[in-house]
C-alpha cells in the first residue's frame, strides 16, 4: 500500500523535474510582428461555448477583415473539443484537436464541461487545465474594472503549477487516506511574477500585491513568496505588498480599500477563486474575459463554465457573449493589434455599461447572442 503510493510519488517527482528542465530551456516569447501570417484558432467547446465563441469570432473577423483579405491573418475553426469526444477517446483533449491547436499561434476557446469526481462521467482531466499544461500557458491574466469606484485590477494567476498541476494525480493510499499534491517551482513563480511586474511597469500601475498563505502552506507558498520578492526587487519604482489569501478575499469587498489594489500575483487555486469573486463585483462572471499566456502559444476564453442547462432548456441562443468579447480584446492586444483592441474595448464599454441598448438576460425576454454581436459591430462602426 505504502510502497505503491511512494512509487507513484517518485514518478510525479521525475515528471516535474523534467518540466523544470523544459522551463529552463524556453527560448522566449513569439514576436507576432515578425510573422508572415497570424493563425487564430477558434474552438467551440461545450454547452453555450459554440454559440458565444462563434459570436466573438464573428466580431474578430469583422475587425480583422482587411488583414484576412491581405492574407496576414487566418481564422481556423477547430471542431471536436466536446465532452462527448473527450469521453469517447478517454483524453482531456483528443489528439487530432491537439495537433490542430498546435498549428495556431493564438486560440479563442469556448467553455468546456469539466467532469467532477462522482458525477458519473469518467474521471477525465479538465480540458482547460490540460490545454494550459500542454501549451505551457503559464499566466492566466484576468482584468476586472469597476470604473465608477476607481477599481482597476489585473490578476496574474499562475496557471501551470500549484494544486492544479497534479490535480488528477492524487493518490488514495487506502480507503481512509488520500493525498493530493501542490507543486511550486522557482522557474514557475519567477516567470509569473516577471510578467506581472513587466505589465505593471509598461502600464504605469502603482502596486503589485503578492497573494499567498505562506504562514501555513510554508513550503510551496513560502517559496512562491520568496521567488516573487526576488523579482520585485528589480522593480523598485513599484510598490510591492504581501497579503494572505483569506484577508485578500475580505479586502476586495471593502469599498474604501479595494481601489488601492492594482496588480495581483497569485498561485493557481487562489487565483481561480479570487478572480471569480472579482468578476462578480464587476457585474458577474459573464462579463469577464481571461487570457492564458505562454511564450509560444496563447489562449483566450471566458472565465465562466459551459452552462449546459441553458442548452438543455433551448436557451443557448440567448447566451451572453460578453466574456468572450472581452477575451477577444485581450487577444487583439496580445498580438499587437492594439488600436483594434481599444476600439472593441470602447464599444464593449458602451454596449455593456454606458448605453446598454440591448440587454442579455439568458432568456427570451433578453437579446440573442447574435443580436448583441451586431450591436457591438454597429457601435464599432460609429466609433471609427
Ligand atoms: C477557470 C475555471 C477552470 C479552472 C475550470 C473549468 C477547470 O474555473 O478557468 O477559472 O479551475 O481553472
Ligand atoms: Mg475558475
State which ligand 1 atom lies nearest to the alpha carbon of 140.
9
pLDDT at 286: 83
Mean per-residue pLDDT, 92-109: 97
Checking if the pLDDT of 114 tops 90, the result is no
For 51-86, b/e burial (b = at least 16 CB within 10 A) is bbbbbbbbbbeebbeeebeeeebebeebebbbbebb
Rg of the chain over CA atoms, in angstroms? 21
Question: Which residue, judged by its Cα, is nearest atom 3 of ligand 1?
Answer: 128
Choose which residue among 114, 162, 291 to substitute to test ligand 1 binding: the one with the highest number of ligand atoms within 8 A of its C-beta: 114
Cell numbers describing residue 36:
508572415
State which ligand 1 atom lies nearest to the alpha carbon of 111.
6
The CATH number of domain 31-137+294-384, selected from 3.90.1150.10, 3.10.129.10, 1.10.3720.10, 3.40.718.10: 3.40.718.10
The tens digit of pLDDT for each residue in 305-329 reads 999 999 999 999 999 999 999 999 9
Element (H, E) at 276: helix 268-282
Q: How far is the CA of 286 from the centre of ligand 1 (A)?
A: 14
CB 316 within 8 A of CB 310: yes
CB 232 within 8 A of CB 210: yes
CB 75 within 8 A of CB 112: no
State which ligand 1 atom lies nearest to the alpha carbon of 132.
12
* Percent of the chain's residues with pLDDT above 90: 92
Per-residue confidence band for 118, with pLDDT thresholds at 50, 70 and 90: confident
Helix/strand/coil for 210: strand
Mean per-residue pLDDT, 78-83: 94
**CA-to-CA separations, 162 to 136, 158, 299, in angstroms, rounded:** 14, 8, 20
The tens digit of pLDDT for each residue in 122-140 reads 778 889 989 999 999 999 9
Nearest to 142 by CA among 270, 315, 317, 318: 270
Question: Which residue, judged by its Cα, is nearest atom 12 of ligand 1?
Answer: 272
Domain borders along the chain are 31-137+294-384
Amino acid at each position: 500500500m505504502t510502497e505503491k503510493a511512494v512509487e507513484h510519488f517518485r514518478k510525479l517527482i521525475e515528471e516535474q523535474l523534467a518540466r523544470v528542465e523544459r522551463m529552463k530551456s524556453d527560448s522566449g516569447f513569439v514576436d507576432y510582428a515578425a510573422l508572415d501570417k497570424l493563425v487564430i484558432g477558434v474552438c467551440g467547446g461545450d454547452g453555450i461555448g459554440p454559440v458565444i465563441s462563434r459570436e466573438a469570432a464573428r466580431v474578430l473577423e469583422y475587425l480583422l477583415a482587411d488583414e484576412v483579405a491581405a492574407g496576414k491573418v487566418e481564422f481556423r475553426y477547430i471542431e471536436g473539443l466536446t465532452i462527448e469526444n473527450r469521453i469517447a477517446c478517454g483524453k482531456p483533449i483528443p489528439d487530432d484537436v491537439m495537433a490542430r491547436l498546435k498549428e495556431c499561434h493564438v486560440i479563442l476557446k469556448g467553455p468546456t464541461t469539466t467532469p467532477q469526481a462522482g458525477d458519473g462521467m469518467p474521471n477525465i482531466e479538465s480540458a482547460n487545465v490540460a490545454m494550459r499544461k500542454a501549451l505551457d500557458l503559464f499566466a492566466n491574466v484576468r482584468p476586472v474594472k469597476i470604473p465608477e469606484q476607481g477599481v482597476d485590477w489585473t490578476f496574474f494567476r499562475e496557471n501551470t503549477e500549484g494544486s492544479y498541476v497534479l490535480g488528477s494525480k492524487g493518490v488514495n493510499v487506502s480507503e481512509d487516506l488520500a493525498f493530493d499534491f501542490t507543486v511550486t517551482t522557482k522557474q514557475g513563480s519567477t516567470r509569473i511574477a516577471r510578467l506581472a511586474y513587466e505589465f505593471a511597469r509598461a502600464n504605469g500601475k502603482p502596486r503589485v500585491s503578492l497573494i499567498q498563505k505562506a504562514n501555513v502552506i510554508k513550503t510551496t507558498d513560502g517559496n512562491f513568496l520568496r521567488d516573487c520578492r526576488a523579482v520585485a526587487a528589480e522593480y523598485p519604482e513599484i510598490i510591492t505588498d504581501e497579503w494572505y489569501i483569506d484577508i485578500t478575499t475580505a479586502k476586495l469587498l471593502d469599498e474604501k480599500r479595494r481601489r488601492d489594489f492594482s496588480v495581483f500575483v497569485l498561485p493557481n487555486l487562489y487565483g481561480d477563486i479570487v478572480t471569480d469573486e472579482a468578476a462578480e463585483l464587476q457585474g458577474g462572471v459573464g462579463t469577464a474575459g481571461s487570457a492564458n499566456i505562454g511564450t509560444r502559444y496563447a489562449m483566450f476564453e471566458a472565465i465562466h463554465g459551459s452552462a449546459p442547462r441553458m442548452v438543455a432548456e433551448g436557451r443557448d441562443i440567448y447566451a451572453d457573449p460578453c466574456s468572450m468579447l472581452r477575451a477577444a480584446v485581450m487577444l487583439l492586444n496580445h498580438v499587437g493589434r492594439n488600436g483594434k483592441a481599444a476600439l472593441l474595448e470602447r464599444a464593449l464599454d458602451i454596449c455593456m455599461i454606458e448605453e446598454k441598448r440591448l440587454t442579455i438576460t439568458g432568456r427570451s425576454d433578453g437579446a440573442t447572442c447574435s443580436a448583441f454581436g451586431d450591436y457591438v459591430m454597429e457601435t464599432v462602426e460609429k466609433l471609427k
